[in-house]
Amino acid sequence: MNAFMAQLQSLVGPKAGVLKALMAPLFIVMVLAMMVLPLPPFALDLFFTFNIAMALMVMLVAANMIRPLDFAAFPTVLLITTLLRLSLNVASSRVVLLEGHTGTGAAGKVIESFGHFLIGGNFAVGLIVFAILVVINFIVVTKGAERIAEVGARFTLDAMPGKQMAIDADLNAGLIDEKEAKRRRAEVGEEAEFFGSMDGASKFVRGDAIAGILILVINIIGGFIIGVAQHSLSAGQAAESYILLAVGDALVAQIPALLISVAAAMVVSRVGKETDIGSQIRKQVFSSPTALAITAGIIGLLGLIPGMPNIIFLLIAAGIGYGAWWMARQAKKAAEAPAPSTRPEPPANAEASWDDLQPVDTLGLEVGYRLIALVDKARSGDLLSRIKGVRKKFAQEVGFLPPPVHIRDNLELKPSVYRVLLRGAVVGEGEAFPGMFLAINPGGATIKLPGTATIDPAFGLPAVWIDDKQREMAQMSGFTVVDCATVVATHLSHLMQVNAGKLLGRVETQALVEHVTKLAPKLIEDVIPKMVGIAAVQKVLQLLLEEGVHIRDMRSIVECLAEHASTVTDPGELARRIRIHLAPVIVQQIYGPTRELDVIALDPELERLVTQALTSPHGAALDPGVADTLTREAANTAQRAENLGHPACLLVPDLIRAPMARLLKRAAPRLKVLGHSEIPETHSIRIGSIIGQAA
């Protein structure tokens, strides 16, 4: 039996899915068929009743929704209900014009009832009532809803970049995860699409009101002519039959149209996302005892005027006054109740507190307003994904996860300027132009490109901002062409590499140690913090990072600390010994897989002079003139080595390696300084340049 039911469900399931998918198209085809095929009076009664029920249901759904997106199908529903009313108008007009001479029941009981019950069988009254309904629907409700939809669509689209930046800022700050960020981005996009659709769909309601007027006029004129000319009715008989039927038909269609218009107005005029419209009105209109009491007093005074309907006015005043008294009593009870344990809001003139102090972002990116498009995915901005890739690449290469990059717009900056901040201090800035490309000359390009000449912000190479039209020509001429987002991301990546030591704070160090603990728990347990404290580990790692040494091999670093921490406590000496321990990795990081190292050396006399000055027992005292000459020649020699395609690396004795690295860092930031003991035994050296030889 169970197998039979499962087989039956497998057969019916796909068919049920197909039927659900075909419901909407079949309904549209049926609605369009009503305009062509003649319908009997019973079918008209059925469809008119369904139309009224549908309009009521749509209005109630619109009144009880919490957010506009809760009724995201409303623009489509608006189109379908409008088509349904128009098709019913066409079908009923056919029946009225063909069978109207037989009496007022020719088009069904619904139209006849509207003609007799609502307007008392008087077509003149019906015309006036219909005109009033059209004025309410077309001029008041529809016009207002159309304007609100237009403004709402414009404001929603304008607010999208700010909403996207807020979502990305929350994501970068760790307040939400990637799944929640995707949901919010989708909601922002759907909201913009909804208000854009409502802006266009409101034209359906306006066109429906105009169509109702035209159909009424056509039915009256056509019916009167047909009744008098074809069926030989008198003018009075034709007016009684055809005009009454036409007005009844118009009213039957106009009332659902008014309900749909009201629903559209409620959807687009919706403000707030916490409660439905009924709850909002109840809380905001009828929640003030003072307003209700004053209203009750004014109505009561009007009820005392002679000639007024005193009983009605006084009854309403008493009801409103009782409501005001009851609400005031409830408010008093709530005030006398014990205060909740929640922390009260500080008054406006409260003293300053620690809560007013906002933490400074470790790593921040500020952009001018023209660069907001780079972080707006709705405008195809992909800078956020580029920055995520930069952080991931940094972690893979350098060896620790950098802090998140907090992005915000800064109206004080020039429109196309961005700047990178490290703990509130600017460490780099540049200018980028969305929609343009930066053609960077790596050194071999000689053609002059049309555009704005500039300097590559990351590496200082000459470059030109060009249009998309010159992109292919620039690439063929030997330029490296990158887009605007890549320029910003590359500059940020370079600054992160240069300031890696400053990015490694205590929080990052602790997280790194915890990560290594998962891989080698016993090793970390024996060394940190038993032999070396977390502060000393942070200082050692910072010294390595400041000279461009990656700390990916934390296991080897901790093993070296375990070997020397019992006899050495100075972080600088520990860093020196770790460098020797990591010598193969450091050399490979500079030279790659080659075994013959082309190095720069100091002239022996200069080396002796520098060694004596930097290792003096009275403190380092290098002559300023010698220091200036040394730094200048080191920078020039490093530049010549790079031009020849060789790494710029200076080989010096171990005693002066650290002070020489600090001395030359500012003048030649890309020059690496190695000690003799940092050259692995598997490698050989070849002196390519000598500093101070000419002297």
CA angle (444, 448, 449) in 5-degree steps: 110
Provide the Cα torsion 603, 609, 614, 617; round to 10°: 150
Q: Are residues 389 and 480 in the same domain?
A: yes
- Which of 452, 468, 501 is the C-terminal boundary of a domain? 501
What pLDDT score does 12 carry? 44
The answer to the question of residue 368 being in a domain is yes
Domain count, the chain: 5
Same domain? 168 vs 276? yes
> Do 310 and 271 lie in a common domain?
no
Instruction: List the domain range (segments joined by +) for residue 389.
Output: 363-501
State residue 260's pLDDT score: 75
Residue 521: the pLDDT is 85
Question: For residue range 480-497, what is the model confidence (pLDDT) as tens digits?
Answer: 888 888 899 999 999 998
Residues 370 and 325 in one domain: no
For the chain, 695 residues long, the average pLDDT of each consecutive 10-residue run is 45 52 70 71 76 80 73 75 76 70 59 62 68 72 69 68 68 69 78 70 69 74 75 69 70 74 71 60 70 82 79 83 81 65 55 72 88 75 84 89 88 89 89 89 79 87 88 83 88 90 88 87 83 88 89 88 86 89 89 88 87 74 81 88 85 88 83 89 88 67
Does residue 356 lie in a domain region? Answer: no
Which of 621, 641, 548 lies closest to 589 in space, CA to CA? 548
**Domain for residue 530, yes or no?**
yes
Residue 297 and residue 261 share a domain:
no
Other beta carbons within 10 Å of 397: 13
Q: Which amino acid is at 674?
A: L
Pair (531, 624) in one structural domain: no
Domain check: are 646 and 692 in the same one? yes
In a domain, residue 13? The reply is no
Residues 523 and 487 in one domain: no
Q: Does 26 fall in a domain?
A: no
536: domain CATH number? 1.10.8.540
Q: Is residue 676 part of a domain?
A: yes
| CATH code (residue 603) | 3.40.50.12790
In a domain, 4, yes or no: no
Domain boundary pick from 472, 501, 530? 501
Strand partners, 483: 437
CA 633: distance to chain centroid? 51
Q: How high is the pLDDT of residue 7?
A: 46
Place of tokens 């106009």: 254
Residue 206 and residue 104 share a domain: yes
420 - beta bridge partners? 365, 428
> Are residues 536 and 452 part of one domain?
no
Contact call for residues 211 and 137 (beta carbons, < 8 A): no
Tell me if 20 is assigned to some domain: no
Print burial letters for 180-217: b (CB count within 10 Å at least 16), e (below 16). ebeebbeebeebbebbbbbbebbebbbebbebbeebbe
Which of 501, 519, 534 finishes a domain?
A: 501
- Sheet harboring 684-691: ordered strands across? 672-675, 649-652, 596-602, 684-691
Query: In this predicted structure, what is the pLDDT of residue 155?
Result: 66
Whole-Å CA distances, 609 to 20, 603, 668, 677: 90, 10, 21, 21
Smallest CA-to-CA distance from 257 within 91, 63, 86, 132 is with 86
CA dihedral sign, ordered 506, 511, 514, 520: negative
Q: CA 647 to CA 645: how far, in whole Å?
A: 7
Tens digits of residue pLDDT in 107-130: 556 666 666 665 565 666 767 777
Q: Are residues 360 and 332 in contact, defined by beta-carbon separation less than 8 angstroms?
A: no
212 plus 94 within the same structural domain: yes
User: Is 0.85 topped by the overall pTM?
Assistant: no
Q: Say if CB 478 and CB 444 are below 8 A apart.
A: yes
Give Cα 206 distance to the centre of its chain. 34
243 and 169 part of one domain = yes
**Six-digit token pair at 374?**
């780079």
Which residues are within 8 A (CB) of 531 and not within 5 positions of it... i.e. 6 or more apart? 561, 562, 565, 566
